[in-house]
């Protein structure tokens, strides 16, 4: 099976741009065909609280990211998907622990990022979980639907990465980093952390 050809056939059937890449437009069309039209939440609300579990993780995020995390939960809920924020800020020590998993420690590899090389280390990224009732669902097509919703809000989605796909992952890129590479942005973020300068300033 040739994946790009399959994607092109799906795109043609859905009536979206045919380019062989499953981007936000394609996933939104798939979601709309299966579930129904995606509903809008309106403007971001910075003060609307969500569930307690999510709020605990949201509290670790930069103030600029918090309304996006809450808006994603709300927008997913409007579309019949229960989402909770499972993790936010991760210290350098925690990042190195995660990096060691599947390498020098038992378990499967969960990240390719060492300390200082993940947006989590700066409170700019969060990971979600999808729930059905009280049951956490680790793998589901709904992650792709939530990915579309997050991108509509202006978040970067780990499911659209080419090197390693991370569908539960979302991050908010600062405006000053809009036209530089991820590597350049992370280098600047490490420098800002050292100097105490704001990450979104």
pLDDT in tens, the chain (201 residues): 566 777 777 778 877 777 776 655 666 667 666 655 555 555 554 447 899 999 999 999 999 999 999 999 999 999 999 999 999 999 999 999 999 999 999 999 888 899 999 999 999 999 999 999 999 999 999 999 999 999 999 999 999 988 778 999 999 999 999 999 999 999 999 999 999 999 999
What's the pTM?
Answer: 0.77
pLDDT number for residue 18: 79
Q: Which long-range contacts (CB under 8 A, 24 or more apart) does 72-77 make?
A: 72/128, 72/146, 72/149, 72/150, 72/153, 72/155, 72/170, 74/41, 74/45, 74/48, 74/50, 75/39, 75/40, 75/41, 75/149, 75/152, 75/153, 76/145, 76/146, 76/149
Q: Where exactly are the structural domains of the chain?
A: 1-37, 45-195
pLDDT number for residue 42: 54
d(CA 15, CA 66): 35
Does domain 45-195 fall under CATH 3.30.70.360? My reply is no
């Amino acid at each position: 099976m040739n994946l790009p050809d399959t994607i092109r056939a799906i795109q043609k059937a859905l009536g979206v741009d045919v380019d062989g890449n499953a981007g936000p437009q394609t996933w939104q069309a798939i979601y709309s065909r299966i579930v129904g039209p995606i509903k809008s939440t309106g403007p971001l609300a910075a003060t609307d609280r969500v569930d307690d579990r999510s709020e605990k993780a949201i509290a670790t995020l930069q103030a600029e990211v918090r309304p996006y995390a809450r808006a994603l939960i709300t927008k997913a809920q409007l579309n019949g998907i229960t989402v909770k924020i499972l993790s936010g800020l991760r210290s350098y020590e925690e990042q190195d622990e995660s990096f060691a998993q599947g390498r020098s420690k038992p378990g499967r590899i969960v990240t390719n990022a060492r300390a200082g090389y993940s947006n989590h280390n700066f409170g700019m990224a969060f990971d979600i979980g999808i729930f059905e009732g009280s049951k956490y669902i680790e793998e589901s097509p709904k992650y792709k639907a939530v990915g579309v919703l997050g991108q509509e809000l202006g978040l970067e989605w780990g499911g659209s990465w080419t090197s390693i796909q991370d569908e539960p992952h979302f991050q908010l890129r600062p405006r000053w980093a809009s036209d530089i590479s991820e590597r350049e942005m992370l280098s600047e973020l490490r420098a800002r952390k050292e100097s105490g300068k704001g990450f979104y300033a």
